[in-house]
Structure 1
Amino acid sequence: MSDKPANPYYTGPVSDHFDGKRFFNPEGVEPGGMRDLIKWQTNGKRARWPKRVAHGPASTPPRARVDGADLRVTMIGHATLLIQVAGLNILTDPVWSPRASPFSFAGPKRVASPGIALEDLPPIDIVLVTHNHYDHLDLPTLARLDEEHGPHIVTPLGNDTIIHRALPDAKISDMDWGDRLQYWDGLSIHAEPCHHWSARGIRDRRMALWAAFVLSTPAGKIYHIGDTGFHDGINYRAAAEKHGAFRLANLPIGAYEPRWFMKGQHQNPQEAVEGFRLCNAANAVGHHFGTFQLTDEAIEAPVEDLSKALSAAAIPPTRFRALRPGEVFDVPEM
């Protein structure tokens, strides 16, 4: 009999989203299997992306800190955002590597350079890692951040094991859905459900948890989702009921075609707009597009579809912005 644990990342009690070995979305949709993957990969409908997209770096170097009522977001690329609020600098799902892949020679390749060079970052206090897919959990980037900034890494259950194996001295807090952390004056972090999945290889599917984060700050509340399916809006409604109004929601708008394969795990721009409305956010940043080609849609489709969805919902485009690498959004006060 093997001495290896059934789950190499996490051991804990059974819950409404953990069966003792794997995590799951209550009443949710599991990701497609190998047969569906092959059907998608051979459908011949993958749009051709350019090899490089010219986006300049941030027009001005990032401020060292942002205090008071100010809230600033700078797009780095894909799901990597620099959030500056309450005197703290927070990175989400940091990926500076040229590929979102376990390999340096294969896998989705970056077409847009990071909006801020790694060496030009201000001091980083907190890193949020929402789940372990390679376009969100990038160990080479985390290693550099740990060496140069020593941030506190916050991540859902099981992902801490993955990171600790590579960075044994890193400061890491793991969180289950519903948990709350308050290690910083004026800031608390809540882990909340989102509808997604996890895997680093072919044998560890759903063995680490995925989560959204809510940041409660003196400047207002921020709802950050790295990846999610719409899931009939269940999690958006729950977030609004629990946390009230948000000054800012960071919502994924890309990697959604074909719908028959992606719908359960990746919302499209129309669903993101509906989620924005349901979670009671005053402003939103759209991310998860235009950096790595993960799915079939054209590179500009998420931005174009977001514009159409906002128009149909009579929401001013200034309230829900799809930021390009290097673009800065000073979020209006509520």
Structure 2
Amino acid sequence: MTAPVLHFLGHSTVRVELAGHTVLTDPLLTPRVGPLRRVVPQPAPETYAGVDLVLVSHLHGDHLHLPSLRLLGPDVRIAVPRGAGASLRSRGFRHVVEVLPGESFPHGALRITATPADHTGHRWGPRSTAGPDTPAVGHLIEGAGQTVYVSGDTDLFDEMHLIGQRGVDVAVLPVWGWGPSLGPGHLDPRSAAEAVERLRPRLVVPVHWGTLAVRGTTLLPGVRSRMRRLLVDPPRDFAAAVAARGLDTHVAVTEPGAPVVAPRPATEPT
């Protein structure tokens, strides 16, 4: 078995190298998305070079981000929730796969399975129900004897323990968002720790934090101190919550733009 190699590019974007393939989750590669500005450096092109599969969890603009997909080129294979394919194909993307929770497809030596997610699928959500709508999904990436679970945006849901029963080596879980509060359908540090208890992965990578903010909120009196804390604290609060539960899971707190460092196996010589 060969462990996956992960690189956290910021927000929900993670590069996963496994079984000879390079997968990118919810690509957000530009300096801005709508009113949100990136508060960490933009990923360098080499960090998303060679991607042969993109997994899009839902239609919100910070997850299905067309300018970022265009940086990857029209020939990259993209998996989207069922109902979103025609829109991407009409924009020139040639290889689009549509999946609902429970559906799988092969990708070379990988097998990708869509999982449930408790999150609105409306394009202009989570608080709006306007625009196109598809189910939000997570993904299981399986290959080389390893399983990576990427939840996408979600709250806790009943089937999460069933995903854990499949045997999860690495879980990628959101622990916050981009504002001073969370809308519906999101994990915070405490509920994300509960997700770890249900999933029981060997390694968990907290994402969806520390990358985006509405322009000016880090400077406004009365807001700036809270916003600056929220750009730093959520993954550390999450790690503390996992530790408080006594779980045998390593939390790899990884700064946006950095490779994920996994602990060495106990049998590996130092």
Q: TM-score, normalised by structure 2?
A: 0.83
Distance in 1 between residues matched to 2:236 and 2:261, nearest whole Å: 23
Whether 2:86 is the aligned partner of 1:161: answer yes
1:96 and 2:22 aligned: no
Q: Hey, what does 1:276 align to over in structure 2?
A: 196
Ranges in structure 1 where 5+ consecutive residues have no aligned partner:
1-67, 102-106
Closer, same or farther: CA 248–120 of 1 in aligned 2, 3 Å: closer
| Inter-CA distance 179–113: structure 2 relative to 1 (3 Å threshold) | same
Query: In the TM superposition, what whole-angstrom CA distance separates every residue of 1:147-184 from its partner, at most 9, and x where no partner exists?
Result: 4xx221111112223322322x4201000111010131
1:253 maps onto 2:175 in alignment:
yes
Q: 2: distance between equivalents of 1:288 and 1:229?
A: 13
Which residue of structure 2 aligns with residue 329 of structure 1?
260
* Alignment partner, residue 208 of structure 1: 134
What are the equivalent positions in structure 2 for 1:54-65 lying under 5 Å apart?
A: none
Match for 1:226 among 146, 152, 167?
Answer: 152
CA RMSD of aligned residues (A): 2.5
Q: What is the alpha-carbon distance in structure 2 between the residues aligned to residue 307 and residue 269 of structure 1?
A: 8
In structure 2, give the amino acid aligned to 1:97.
Answer: T
Q: Which residue of 2 aligns with 1:111?
A: 39
Match of 1:320 among 238, 251, 257: 251
2:10 pairs, out of 33, 55, 77, with 77
Question: Once the 2 structures are TM-superposed, how far is the Cα of residue 323 of structure 1 from its aligned partner?
Answer: 1.4
Give the drift of 1:193.
0.2
The percent identity for this pair of structures is 25
Conserved 8 A contact 1:71-1:330: no
CA distance 1:71–1:203, change in 2 (3 Å): closer
Structure 1 residue 275: deviation in Å?
Answer: 0.6
In the TM superposition, residue 120 of structure 1 has moved relative to its aligned partner by 4.9
Q: Which residue of 2 aligns with 1:307?
A: 239
CA contact (8 A) 2:33 2:61 kept: yes
TM-score, normalised via structure 1 length: 0.68
1:312-333 deviations in whole A, cap 9, x for unaligned?
12347x8112211232125467
Q: Contact 2:177 / 2:209 at 8 angstroms: preserved in 1?
A: yes
Deviation at 1:216, TM superposition (A): 1.3
Q: Is the 8 A contact 1:198 1:205 kept in 2?
A: no
Tell me if structure 1 keeps the 8 A contact 2:210–2:256. Answer: no
2: CA distance, partners of 1:305 / 1:257: 17
- In structure 2, relative to structure 1, the CA distance for the partners of 1:120 and 1:309 (3 Å cut) is closer
Q: Which has the higher contact order (CA 8 A, sep 6+)?
A: 1
The answer on 1:126 being equivalent to 2:46 is: no
The structure whose residues are more often strand, as a share, is 2
* Long gaps (5+) in structure 2: 218-225
8 A Cα contact 2:196 2:242, kept in partner: no
Work out the CA distance in 1 between the residues paired with 2:59 and 2:241: 30
| Aligned length, in residue pairs | 250
Q: Equivalents in 2 of 1:327, 1:205: separation in Å?
A: 35
Q: Which amino acid aligns with 1:139?
A: L
Question: Which of residues 94, 97, 111 is equivalent to 1:170?
Answer: 94
Q: Which has the larger radius of gyration?
A: 1
Q: Does 1:182 align with 2:106?
A: yes
Asked whether the 8 Å contact 1:146–1:170 carries over to 2, the reply is no
2:252 alignment partner, SS class: strand
- 3-state DSSP of counterpart to 2:107: strand
Q: Is the 8 A contact 1:230 1:275 kept in 2?
A: yes
Residues 244-302 of structure 1: CA deviation (Å, up to 9, x unaligned):
2111000001129777x63x411111111111121121111110000113797521231
Q: Residue 119 of structure 2: which of 196, 202, 213 is its match? A: 196
- 1:15 — aligned with what? none
